[in-house]
Chain A
Amino acid sequence: MRFLLLVPVLVVPVVAVVLLLLVASRSTYDARIRLARRLEGRRGLLRLLGAAVGGVAAAYLVAEDTLGLGLLLAAPVATLGLLLGVLAAELVVRPPGGARRSASLTARSATDYVPRRLTAAVVTTGVTLLVLASVTTALGSPDDLGRPGRWLTRACSAVETASRGPWPGSYYTGPLLVLVGTGVLLALLVLRTTVARPPLLVPGDPSGAADVPAEAVAADHELRAQAARAVVAGVGVLLALPLAGTAVLAGSAVGGTVGCAPGWWAVVAAGLLVVAALAGAVLVWCMAALLLGSRQPPLGQSSALR
């Protein structure tokens, strides 16, 4: 049974890597993209390595799953691997070392590179997860073995109670919020590193000479934008999958047979399933941005370059 759970976790990273390679091999329609790939060198491998390490760690969590906790934490762990890969790729960029060097006189900021609509969706997802997890944590109660925050219990009368689980209480949300918080902080660090790193140099010209071609400047901008897009999309996966899981768990518990539940609980359950569906949509959007983002927007057409 556990092997069956492993299948999607192992298949998704493999499919992602294959799709990335396919996209990379097809994106040769623009000379600046080719230049960006030359500038990037082997940094892409570091990102793939990070994603692979995250995928393996997530698969291990699922394989060692106890009471669904590993399944819930798999996506955040996979994203942490991806973010560490992006961070490593940004940290290996060295400053120019020749006698003649040049730099732009315009300040860079993260807002020049992050995709705005996707970022807004990811922030909304994060706020929703925080609110929902806080509420479910507050409402959780111990299960039959005394593990805190695993069941939803309602007192039907002075002597009778009805319980339903699993419930996304502190048993699940505690480690989840720690991992999500770590991931968000790591993502901010990666974004800061992406903005602050020195520009990539044209291969064969280690000096970073004063006469930098405009195409190289545009290609460097695009590579920063790609890294920022990967970070935002990665955080989207980090938040959307746990949000979907939390909403489904809470929705099925609230909508389930808690003996004396009032009628409006069914409305809450339906609302939670809608939240889960929306989180799923954000998840698909983020996966698409991760896998297809390198082909759009076209190089040199971002607002910072106009």
Chain B
Amino acid sequence: MSPSDIRLSVDTDDPTPPYEQLRRQVEHAVRFGALPAGHRLPPIRHLARDLGLAVGTVARAYRELEAGGLVSGSRGGGTRVLPAAAGRPQDVDTRRDQALVDLARRYVCDGRLVGAADADLLHAVRAALTATGAAGAGQRP
């Protein structure tokens, strides 16, 4: 999956504040190597317009990412992913595999809570993959 295939999503009905949703997703994308070092994030105003959020909300997410040592912002150069943020490639692969297992477990648990059978869970995953396109199918950065 290339960085251009990655999409941030925000659910304004979620109890988690939108800035925290953004921060968490960008942090995952950086830590798991989906966003390479030097990748330029969208300008705050662009991302705020695209998501229909206040500029301050996106600015806060970027500030938190900067404070966490994941990105660095400069006037004129935009906000870029820092080289040391992701770590070694082999560590990234291990972390990503572990994160996928955790996410899958959580999905299965949540799915069973709403009464879904295994076939329903698999069908929902396939449908979600189809809906978001086959951009990253079979690839590993």
Contact = CB atoms under 8 A, between A and B. Distances in A.
Q: Is the interface of A mostly helix, strand, loop or mixed?
A: loop
B49 A100 contact: no
B6 A213 contact: no
A213 B131 contact: yes
B8 A103 contact: yes
Given A107-B42, A213-B131, A102 B10 contact: yes
B4 A304 contact: yes
Nearest to B127: A211
A142 interface: no
Given A105-B6, A105-B26, A199 B40 contact: no
Nearest to A218: B133
B3 A101 contact: no
A99 B11 CA distance: 5
Contacts of A215: 133
A210 interface: yes
A106 to B, nearest CB: 5
B128 interface: yes
Given A95-B52, A105-B35, A211-B131, A100 B9 contact: yes
Contact of A214 (B11, B51, B135): B135
A28 B133 CA distance: 22
B66 to A, nearest CB: 16
A304 B134 CA distance: 17
A96 interface: yes
Given A208-B52, A213-B133, A104 B7 contact: yes
A103 B7 contact: yes
Interface in B7-60: 7-13, 26, 29, 35, 40-43, 45-47, 49-53
A103 B35 contact: no
A107 B135 contact: no
Interface residues of B, number: 32
Given A106-B42, A196-B46, A211 B132 contact: yes
B87 interface: no
B10 to A, nearest CB: 5
Interface in A198-214: 198-199, 208, 210-214
Contacts of B69: none
A99 B12 contact: yes
Contacts of B50: 95-96, 101, 103-104, 198-199
A197 interface: yes
A65 to B, nearest CB: 44
A97 interface: yes
Given A95-B49, A95-B50, A211-B131, A101 B42 contact: no
A103 B4 contact: no
28 contacts: A95-B49, A95-B51, A99-B13, A100-B12, A101-B9, A101-B10, A101-B12, A101-B51, A101-B53, A102-B8, A102-B51, A103-B7, A103-B42, A104-B4, A104-B6, A104-B42, A105-B35, A106-B42, A107-B41, A196-B46, A198-B50, A210-B7, A210-B9, A211-B132, A214-B133, A215-B133, A304-B4, A305-B4
Given A103-B47, A104-B7, A107-B78, 4 more contacts: A97-B52, A103-B50, A105-B3, A214-B135
